[in-house]
Structure formats: C-alpha cells, structure tokens
A and B are shown apart, each in its own frame.
Chain A
Amino acid sequence: MSAEGDAALVVSLFAVDPAGTGGICVRSPAHPPRDIWLQMLRETLPAGTPLRRVPFNLPDGRLLGGLDLVATMQANRPVAERGVLADTDGGVIILTMAERLSTGTAARLNQVLDRGEVDLPREGLLIRHAASVGIIALDEGIAEDERLPVSLLDRLAFMVDLGAFDLRTALIPAYEREDIEAARTLLPGVTIEESVLQALCATAIALGAGSPRVTLLAARVARIAAALDGRRSAGEEDAVVAGRLVLAPRATRLPPAEPRDQEEPPEPPAEQPPEPPPESPPEPPPDQPLEVNAQMLEDIILEATRAAIPAGLLAQLRSASRERATRAQSAGRAGAMRKSGARGRPAGIAAGAPRGDARLNIIETLRTAAPWQRLRGRDDARVRVRPEDFRVTRYKQRAQTLTIFAVDASGSSALNRLAEAKGAVELLLADCYVRRDQVSVIAFRGRSAEVLLPPTRSLVRAKRSLAGLPGGGGTPLAAALDAATALVQLSRRRGETPTLVLLTDGRANVARDGAPGRERAHADALQSASLFAASGATALFIDTSPRPGDQAKALAARMRAQYIALPFVNAASLNTVVRAATAAPRV
C-alpha cells in the first residue's frame, strides 16, 4: 500500500474516465515529483486527449466562453469566443494554484462538472457546448485552511498528496496506455456486485466519508478498477481500491471500535501484476454469484479503508471538535474574499481595457470616442471606437467588519466570569450576525492562546466552539495579544475592519514562551500590547475581575483600547456595554 503505488494507480483510474471521476486534487508543492507525476499522467492518457493548463484566476470569458470583444468590434457583429472548458471537451484541465480558486469560479466549474456541458447564455449569445472534462487541481496550499473550495473537492474522486515524495521516489505507471484504452471500451458494460455496492455504502457511512456524491464516485472508481483488470463486474478488490483512494482521505470519524483495532487489513498476496499496492483479498471472486457473506465483505472493505486513512488525519480526528471547523474553513473564509474590481458600488471611471472582471462602461467609452468621430472618418451610422477609448468602471466594496473575541479561560477567570463571558459573546454573536459581521474567537488558557474559531459568519459554528471551551490554567495574556494581532493583520490584508473585544481579568501569569511567573508575564503582555496598538485596530478591554486592578488598566492603555471594568454583571448587561462601545465608531 505504498503512497507511490497509489499515486500511480490514481493516474490510471482517472485516465480511464476523466469526466466520470471528476478529477484529482493533488496536494503538493511545485516540486519535481509533481512534474514527474504530471508527466506520467500525460503519457497515460490516450493519445489525442486535450490537456489544458489553466490558471486559477482565469476570467469567466475565457473559462466558459463569451463575446470576443476585439473580434466583435472588427467584424461589427457578435463573435463568440469558445471557452477553455468547451475546447477541452473529452479531456483534462490542469488547474494551477487551485487553493486560491474563488468560490465563484469553483461554482462555475461545479456546474460544468455536474452537467457535462457549458450552458451560458450571456451577452446576447446562446452558448451551449459539450464539455465533459476531468480536473487535475494542483493544490499548493501549506496551511490547514489553504484548500480547494470544499464544493469542488466534493466532486473530485481522488485526493493525492505528493508532498512527501522526493526525487528518489519511483513513480511507475500502474497501467500502460493500451490498458487504459481497453478499459475505456470495457467500462460501459461493467457492473458492480450488489454486495460490493452495499459494502462501499456501509463504509462511507461508517467513516462519515463525504456526501452521497462521494459514495457514487467510489462506486464508479470500483467499476473502473474492474475494467482495468479486464473484468465485467466490480468485486471486492475493486471496492477495496475505491475505499482506499476515494473514501479514506475524506473520513471524518472512525468506525466503531473493532476488536482487532491495531491490526493491518488483510494483506494477502496480490494477483494482479500491474497493481503495485499488495492489497487484494485472499481469492479474487470475479463473476462469482453473491455467495460472499455480505457482512464479511463489509468488514474487509471498511478495514482496508480505515487502514488507509492518513495518519495525520487520525490525530486530527481525535480532537473531535476541530474536525468540522477544518472542513468548513476554506468555504467560510472564501466568502469574505472581496477584492475583485467587478462588484460593489461604483466608484469612478478609469481608462483601461475590459480585462479580467472589469466591465466596459459603454457610455463613458462612447463619450470618449465622440469628439474624434469626424477625424476618424466617420461616414455612416457607425461609431468609430478605438481601444484607447475604452473606459471601465471602478467599484468599491463595503469593507467587512470582523469582531475578534479574545476570551480569558484561565483558572482565575473561569471561577467567576467564564460563564458570563460565554453568554455575552453569544449575545454579541447574534448581534454581529444581524449586521453581517464576521466573528472570530480566540481563547487563552494554560500556556498558549488558540484561535478557537477562525473568522466566520456562522452562528452555529461560533456557538459550538464556545460551548466546548474548557476553563482552567494560567493566563497567557501575551500569547493572546499576539494571536489577536496576527488575526488583525490578516483581516486587514483582506480589506476588512477588525475590532478586538478582550475579556480578561488582566492578571497575566504566563510569559510568552509559556514559562510561569507574574512579573515576566506582565512585561511580555505589555510588550505585546504595544505591538497590538501599532496595528491600529479598535479594541475594547473588558476587565472581568471582581476587583478591577491597575495592571489591567495599564495594559488597556498600552493597547490604546477602551477600558471598561465590569465587576458585577451578567451576560445581558455585558452585551449592552460592548454594543454601545463598539457600535459608536462604526456608524
């Protein structure tokens, strides 16, 4: 079950039916193994398969097709431009830097993947081209939340990670081009055994592996695996392959504990020579009536799939609360990316060609062209417009606000204030939700601060992350302020306006490096507070201690934050105060 073997096998399975499998998400930096892998893909795909490399920021016109403006102006009649997707019908699209893909572009790709055609009447043209394509999404993301939009990921059967490969990794094609072509002919007639289908579905449910769509992809992959081996019916070994390659990377929970928990899945001798992973059942039962005990089959496939769940993923699953956050992160975040110049409120006119998303401002363009008509030799009803006349509208988007709650969950706070703080944050969240603000929650306790909830608009997630917040431990104020500063800067880069609401008793007792000691902790906190002040974000310091102290005041002053002492309050009054303080500067 080597990773190289699987990476090679994925190429073969994909090559048989690129559109049917949707595609492959390739998580890897741009390094030689990826090039080798892509080269293998090129050599595996049947000759003549269209293969296009597409940058993530391709404008819609090029992606889907549309009006070719320059040609239209030359010809004086609408000239349609075919998009890349239609040009690649029956082929493969290689999407570069796919982790940067906007949800909008992903939505359009999804539509094409779902329907196998581009259907987009725009600019007065009815465009409908067949476009069944498979997508190779090159995901170069490093951080956990730098990922392909989840909705697109859900439509790609395979996920491979080439990040760990190096130059010594031997990538040997699993099948030759002739095998692929043979499998293509065979595939339409390949059926899937009922018991095998059942086992695959059961595995998907047990592992919480994706939507029904993913299960469907897994079933398809099982059929392809059978076709590659020249069989007419997908059996157990094919389901094992599908489970390992399609379902395992998407597992979100562990199956109910089995007695043989730590065991490797059955690893009997492989019979199919071209398949590198020695991962097939004791005796392949192709075309054999449904004699196999369905339960046994289920167990085998579940075990095999389970064993293929990446080790890192398992560790992640253990802290169950973080799992859903990670899955939803990219999508929630992408909703906030609002840099495009094509939307929002108009904010002036500028000279320039309608490139990318910018749309031509007709009136201004014509107005610019008007004085030159005589000079340009106008002799009929036509207006002579030249490219230099082009004007585009600039747009301005309302900056989004982000309210960051930094909640002190240390022992000293937890005793008296944590419950109220949670309640207040929930009330404020509801408020932010009405204003369409984003919220983010940082919790600090023990030795460090943690971004409990990355910026989101989802009330559901915010509530869940708060509910699971435990209390106790020291007060690492410096770490909390550092985390808040980082988040503020990140949010600024996205063009948002961040506000920090810090709820703490201000008694730092853990230094930045995690060492205990009040004195150093306070000094560190002051230093971090200065750094925060440099970011220039609005901040509100809520002193939740029963006896408000000077330390907290000093910190607030250093942060240039508004200081509010709330020794005896409940959630509702805390909410009122914070609302009054944060709403004022915003209106």
Chain B
Amino acid sequence: MTATPRPVFPFSAIVAQEEMKLALVCAAVDAAIGGVLVFGDRGTGKSTAVRALAALLPQMHAVADCRYHCDPANADGLCAECQERARHGALKSRLVAVPVVDMPLGVTEDRVVGALDLERALSKGIKAFEPGLLARANRGFLYIDEVNLLEDHLVDLLIDVAASGENLVEREGLSVRHPSRFVLIGSGNPEEGELRPQLLDRFGLSVEVTTPTDLKERMEVIRRRDEFERDRGAFVTKWKKQDDSLRRKILAGRKRLADIKVPDEVLELATRLCMQLGTDGLRAELTLIRAARALGSFEQAHVVDAGHLRRIAAPALRHRLRRDPLDESGSSVRVERAVGEVLGKPGGGLQAPAA
C-alpha cells in the first residue's frame, strides 16, 4: 500500500488551453462562482488540469477527526458533530490537502450520499452513518468525467446539493445532514449527449476545449508529458517555481476578493450584455459579475473593468443562452457578437492571459 499519492502533473506545465485554465483559476479564487464545465474532445487534459489545480492549492485547515473536514474558522458552516465538539472546547485543527473527489459514472446512490455503516451495523449493531462522496468533496472539488452521461437520478441528487451546499440523508433509518460545499467540475464530449438544463445552470463557467491542431503545441504537450512520465519528481520540481507563484496569486486574489470594487457602469454593462443575449433569470448576471470580480482579484486589480467582463463573458454566458435548435451558429459566436455590440470592439483583446 503506497502511503502518499503519486505526484500529479503541474498546473503551470499544461500547454495552451488558456480558457480552461483561466476558468479553473477563477473558480479557485471564488468557489461561489459555482464550478466549471469543460466540454470538448477527449484527451485534451481536462482531468489533468482539475487534478493539477487541486494539487496546486495550499492545504487547508480542517477540524481534526471531522469526516467532512469542516473549517474550524467558520462557526456557521460546521457539521453537527463539530458543533458538538465546539461546545466542549476549542476545535483541534489539522492541515489537509484540498480534496478532489471523482464521481465515476456508474456510481450507486449510496456511495454518493452516504449510507449506513455496514461494518458497525453488522458487528456491533450500531446505527452509524458512513459518509459518501458528497461528504468527502466538502470544501474541495467534485469532478465528474463524462458528466453528460450521468444517470438522471444522480443528476437529481447533485442539482439539489450543489444549490443548497448541504447533503440531507434520509434513508435506512438514518437522518443525517452535513455540509457539502464543493466546486463542481464536469467534463464531457457534447457529441455523446447533452446535459440537462438544470444541471447546466449549476455550472458557473463553461469552457470549450479542442484538440490542438497546431503542430508546435501538440509537440510541446507530448514533450512535457513524456518528461513527466519518466521522472515525475524532477518534473514537478522543475515547475515548482511557476506553480508556487500561481498559488500565491490565487491566495492573494482570494484576499482581494473582499475589497475589489465593481463600479456601477460595469454592473450596467453586465446587465446590458445579458439582456442582449436574452439569458434566463438573474443567475447569468450574478455569475458574470462574480467571475469578473474573481478575475480582477486574481490579477490584483483594484476595480473590475470592462476588460475583465469581456474576457470572462464567453465562459460565464455561453451555456445560458436559450437554445434555438434552428440556429446553426454556436453559442460562443453569439456571445462574442453580443460582447462586440455592448462593449465595443475589443481593445484589450479577447484572449485569455497567461496564468
């Protein structure tokens, strides 16, 4: 049994895929954005990027022995067990890695929400709750590959928990509620099926990745991956500096998030953009502003400006457009068009910055 997990591919070493990296970084800066959906071709580094991001993030403080790794600093978000512990004195804390939980396609409902603890029930006759994937993902990332193929009853579960941040278990004579706040990351290939609109809406940002057809890019992908496979340790060390600086930027961004200003004219621009595109509900605007704020904070700006809006508009809005089955042009094009009309011609450029 190996004690430590094998080193993962460094985030900074991922070639190109700027939009995906930018969206993931924004989600890491502000978890309230609500997750990232990565749609696109197979083998384009989707899961590599998610795992790399989690590995990049600093360890977090969690209540020792808590199965949901509650945050000791957040008195309101504690689970029932930790509230009980807190009543008996200060909470002991320990450092844990940010969890990345994979939700495989064929998973059973029990394993997702948790169930009765088999072993204790059978051997001792004790009714105890055994947490599931939703518990493990608390304060971390829940990653679902091929999310568009996920069975409907699992989608139902996710939709509810992703919105409320709390998992309610009422089964097998158990009645448990525990916090389950996670950044939902989904990936999939649109050729194989569509996502249910309700679940689609839960994702804050959505990005499209394509197989790199640029020769140099593809070579760089292969070269770095090959180097990594041969000597994981050395490769990780080589990229440590970049990863460290990115980590600092993310942390600094989180701090700044509370202070960064969103001027009224930017709010107005966001509203006009959403109206132009005819998005449903307020969620689109909220997410757009939130994502622009995360991006601004990440880049250490003092105020959010139109440039931030422009760059994050496509990921924040493209999956929220009302679908017109007869419209052949893709959603990205429509967002781009609307951005051009509302914000004027790009001055700062639409392309994502280097992370």
List chain A positions with a Cβ less than 8 A from chain B: 20, 60, 67, 69, 72-73, 76-78, 102-105, 107-108, 110-111, 114-117, 119, 121-124, 127-130, 150-151, 154, 188, 192, 197-198, 200-202, 204-205, 210-216, 219-220, 324, 327-328, 331-332, 334-335, 338, 340, 342-345, 357, 359-363, 366, 381-383, 385, 397-398, 423, 426-427, 429-430, 433-434, 436, 456-461, 463
Contact = CB atoms under 8 A, between A and B. Distances in A.
Nearest to A422: B326
Given A151-B42, A201-B218, A458 B193 contact: yes
A430 B225 CA distance: 41
Given A216-B221, A426-B326, A344 B153 contact: yes
A102 B111 contact: no
Nearest to A462: B325
21 contacts: A102-B106, A107-B106, A124-B117, A128-B5, A150-B42, A201-B222, A202-B215, A212-B218, A328-B192, A332-B193, A343-B153, A343-B154, A345-B153, A357-B108, A359-B115, A385-B122, A398-B152, A426-B326, A436-B196, A458-B191, A460-B190
Nearest to B224: A216
B334 to A, nearest CB: 16
Q: When A and B form their complex, which 10 residue pairs have the shortest distance between CB atoms, in order from nearest?
A: A104-B106, A211-B43, A213-B43, A430-B325, A383-B125, A457-B193, A335-B149, A201-B218, A76-B123, A328-B191
B325 A461 contact: no
A154 B43 contact: yes
Given A115-B6, A123-B118, A77 B151 contact: no
B45 interface: yes
Contact of A197 (B110, B122, B154, B223): B223
The A interface is mostly helix, strand or loop, or mixed, namely helix
B333 interface: no
Contacts of A381: 124-125
A211 B325 contact: no
B218 A332 contact: no
Most buried by A among B104, B116, B117, B172: B104
Given A124-B130, A201-B219, A397-B153, 18 more contacts: A72-B119, A72-B123, A103-B149, A111-B102, A121-B136, A151-B145, A154-B43, A200-B222, A212-B44, A220-B229, A331-B189, A335-B149, A343-B154, A360-B118, A381-B125, A427-B325, A456-B192, A458-B191
Contacts of A114: 47
B3 to A, nearest CB: 8
Contact of B118 (A117, A192, A362, A382): A362
B248 to A, nearest CB: 28
Contact of B211 (A116, A119, A211, A423): A211
Given A121-B136, A456-B193, A213 B42 contact: yes
Given A107-B146, A201-B215, A335-B192, A362 B172 contact: yes
A376 to B, nearest CB: 13
Interface string B189-218: 111111011000000000000011101001
Given A114-B47, A328-B191, A359-B110, A211 B42 contact: yes
Contact of B219 (A104, A150, A198, A362): A198
Nearest to B109: A343
Most buried by A among B43, B189, B323: B43
A72 B196 CA distance: 41
Contact of B2 (A102, A111, A128): A128
A149 B6 CA distance: 27
A252 to B, nearest CB: 11
Interface string B162-189: 0000000000110000000000000001
B174 to A, nearest CB: 9
A77 B191 contact: no
B132 to A, nearest CB: 9
Contact of A124 (B44, B110, B119, B196): B119
A192 B2 contact: no
B53 to A, nearest CB: 16
A387 B215 CA distance: 61
B105 interface: yes
B325 A459 contact: yes
A459 B122 contact: no
A18 to B, nearest CB: 14
A154 B123 contact: no
B117 to A, nearest CB: 6
A572 to B, nearest CB: 10
Contact of A107 (B5, B122, B145): B145
B87 interface: no
Contacts of A426: 325-326
B20 to A, nearest CB: 14
Contacts of A200: 222
A235 B181 CA distance: 51
B44 A211 contact: yes
A382 B193 contact: no
B354 to A, nearest CB: 20
Contacts of A359: 108, 110, 115
B88 interface: no
Nearest to A155: B43
Contacts of B5: 117, 119, 128
A529 B61 CA distance: 69
Contacts of B2: 117, 128-130
B126 to A, nearest CB: 9
A108 B6 contact: no
A430 B212 contact: no
B75 interface: no
A332 B192 contact: yes
A115 B110 CA distance: 25
A148 to B, nearest CB: 13
A2 to B, nearest CB: 29
A423 B324 CA distance: 12
Contact of B104 (A104, A128, A460): A104
A327 B192 CA distance: 10
A110 B43 CA distance: 11
Contacts of B151: 338, 343
Contacts of A398: 152
A117 B146 CA distance: 21
B193 A335 contact: yes
A571 to B, nearest CB: 8
B96 interface: no
Nearest to A200: B222
